[in-house]
Every structure is written in structure tokens, then in C-alpha cells.
Chains A and B, each alone.
Chain A
């Protein structure tokens, strides 16, 4: 059974710092991996999608990497800002068929202090 774990559970950094959020999964047979942002009481905003054949994806100050063989992904946030404060969720897509369901980690709650 696929399990997704995110470390750390919470992180507090001063504004301007670069930081790395970690995600690990137990079964390397994934289809894709997607990072989301969730603000308190709100929905999920997609940040980056990494196809299983890719090693990384970049969007602005965000860079996500994927190492399927070791069951790991990282989300790198450069020059953090207070507006980056949110919970970041990692999720793996476990099949390519008519389901393609997501299995989520528990998230890393980030606080960026001005």
C-alpha cells in the first residue's frame, strides 16, 4: 500500500531564506507526482506536476525534483516571502488508467516571518 510522508511537519523561517520541503513515498511505481499549496480553510492550488519520466520541474521561485528509485521528491522555494506561508502537500498519482487517484502526504506547514 502506497504511503506518502512529508518532513518536516512544520517549518518557520525568516523572509528571504531558501528552503527545502521533503516528500517520500513507499512504492516507486507512481505515474506522476504533484505538489499543492493549501491556505487555511481553503482549497488545493496546484504548484507543480512532475511526470514519472521527468526529474524536475520549475515554476518561478519553485523547483520540484523527483527521484523515483529512491522514492523521494523535494520542493525547493527560493527567497521565501511571507505570502508563501501555507501548507504544502505532496501527492503521488498511483495509476495511469481510468482512476489515477492521488495519495497525499500530511503536509508541511510553512511560516515565513517578515
Chain B
């Protein structure tokens, strides 16, 4: 069964540092997403990406966040200057039109 792969599984970073979270979506999927889950809270939408551009972003996804699909297989989320409140589990997901989501296993980001 095809999988969405995320690396690293856990990242610890100092406040103010830049982090890049990496994802390899399923190869024939066209829609890509980042979600996050703060401990004990709901999973919440960050951004969707289709046809090499952002199709929608939430109010959480401010200028500190960016996404990129640099080479046709990877999909990255960059946080430019991390804050303590960015500590969360970040999930990448992908899907085909008309089908459900497939999620990766997540990256646990800890900002200290």
C-alpha cells in the first residue's frame, strides 16, 4: 500500500531557528497538505497545495511559514523563526481528486 513518508520523525530546535519538515507524498496524488496537532488539541489545517501553488491557507499559516515542492517528489514545510507555540505534531497528507486523504506518520517538533 502506498505511503506518505515524513522526515524527521522528531526534531528539537531552539526558538528563533529555522526548521524544514520534509514529506514525500504518494506519487500519483495531486493535492498536498500540511496539518498540525498541538498536544491535546484537534488536528488543524495549515495549508493546501495544488498545481505548484498554495490553494488555501489558514490564519495560522502566516509569513513565518512557507511550502515548496522543489523536485516533483518532495513537499516541504519551512518555519523561518520558530516560536515555543509552534511545538506540535506536523502531518503531511496527500490525495487524488475524489478520494480520501492519506496521512504520513508525522514529525514531532519541539521548540525549546
Residues of A within 8 A of B (CB): 32, 34, 36, 41-46, 49, 51, 89, 91, 97-107
Contacts and interface: CB of A to CB of B under 8 A. Distances in A.
Given A100-B31, A101-B33, A101-B56, A43 B48 contact: no
Interface of B: 6, 31, 33, 35, 41-45, 48, 50-51, 55-56, 89, 91, 93, 95, 98-106, 108
A103 to B, nearest CB: 7
A100 B42 contact: no
Contacts, number: 61
Contacts of A41: 89, 108
18 contacts: A32-B100, A36-B103, A42-B106, A43-B91, A44-B93, A44-B103, A46-B100, A49-B99, A51-B98, A98-B31, A98-B48, A99-B48, A100-B31, A100-B95, A101-B48, A101-B56, A102-B45, A104-B44
Contacts of B55: 97-99
B66 to A, nearest CB: 18
Determine chain A's interface SS by DSSP, over half rule: strand
A77 to B, nearest CB: 19
Given A98-B55, A100-B95, A101-B45, A43 B104 contact: yes
Given A42-B105, A49-B99, A102 B31 contact: no
A57 to B, nearest CB: 10
A28 B68 CA distance: 33
A103 B100 contact: no
